Amino acid sequence: MPVITLTTDFGLRDGFVGVLKGVILGIAPNARIVDISHAIAPQDIRGGAFVLWRAFPYFPKNSIHLYVVDPGVGTQRRPLASRVGDHYFVGPDNGLLTPILEDAGHPPGPVEFFNLDKPEFWLTNVSNTFHGRDLFAPVAAHLCNGVSLNALGTRVTDPVRLELPRPEKTSHGWRAHIVWIDTFGNLMTDLPAAAVSSRPAARFRICGREIIGLVNSYGSAPAGDLVALVDSQGFIEVAQVNGAAAERLGASVGDLVEVILSE
């Protein structure tokens, strides 16, 4: 029985996540359901995109990833089921899959999209404000039961894409961006470590501070030091040892990181 993962901006207080699981288990009683995050900021499609993109490859093949960050619920935005390589995705057509689709080309993998237009796979009554419960959870459960994407909707080829910032090459090195700040206050950037790995003396300018060189891990420098290092998925990260770099620097998602590679 495939795993169904959940990524939403629902929070854990109101019971909305429990309701998704109740609906899923009513249709697919043996589904394995795993929470990825329910603390995406309200309506933050980019945040959801980042978290799901980082997490999904660690799940087994044929996992079904349900994502509901859905400011357009009840409007004309399409409900979508997608296949990207060995993984399935169910959620609103709002661009949240953009980083996953951009990676899917390297190496090229099969990618398919289906507009969910078959109400027989939804709850009987569909509200205008909670498609996670009424439409996406039932579809994910039916997919888990073995219903094919073709049966659940009509093939489309034009999913919404987000314009995401990318690191830019400069005369001195790179201009990168903070793309996520984690629970520890570590600043995750969009710059692949490969871009600096041959330059051990690279300098990182961020929020008026400069950090020289990369350390191996958090414990490689004294508590309180600001450090740059390679994160667990191969991107440059800025951290404060045993502290919160975000608070220390007043850093926010979107802030620039200037990387100086020249002497």
Residues that bind a second copy (CB under 8 A): 3, 5, 7, 9-19, 21-23, 25-26, 29, 32-40, 42-43, 51-52, 54-56, 58-60, 63, 71-75, 77, 127-130, 133-134, 180, 182-185, 216-220, 229-233, 237, 242, 244
Taking residue 145's Cβ as centre, other Cβ atoms within 10 Å add up to 14
Q: How far apart are CA 23 and CA 112, in angstroms?
A: 25
| The residue type at 140 | A
Q: Which is nearer to a second copy, 51 or 260 (CB)?
A: 51
Q: Which is nearer to a second copy, 62 or 115 (CB)?
A: 62
Q: Is 156 helix (H, G, I), strand (E, B) or coil?
A: strand
Contact present, 63 and 111 (Cβ < 8 Å): no
Minimum distance from residue 36 beta carbon to a second copy (Å): 4
Minimum distance from residue 104 beta carbon to a second copy (Å): 18
Q: Which is nearer to a second copy, 39 or 175 (CB)?
A: 39
Minimum distance from residue 142 beta carbon to a second copy (Å): 15
Minimum distance from residue 188 beta carbon to a second copy (Å): 9
Q: Which is nearer to a second copy, 42 or 155 (CB)?
A: 42
DSSP 8-state code for residue 77: P
Q: Which is nearer to a second copy, 93 or 231 (CB)?
A: 231
Minimum distance from residue 193 beta carbon to a second copy (Å): 11
Q: Is the preceding peptide bond at 107 cis, omega within 30 degrees of 0?
A: yes
Report CA torsion sign: 210, 179, 108, 57: positive
Q: Which residues does residue 105 pair with via DSSP β-bridges, in sequence order?
A: 108
DSSP 8-state code for residue 136: I
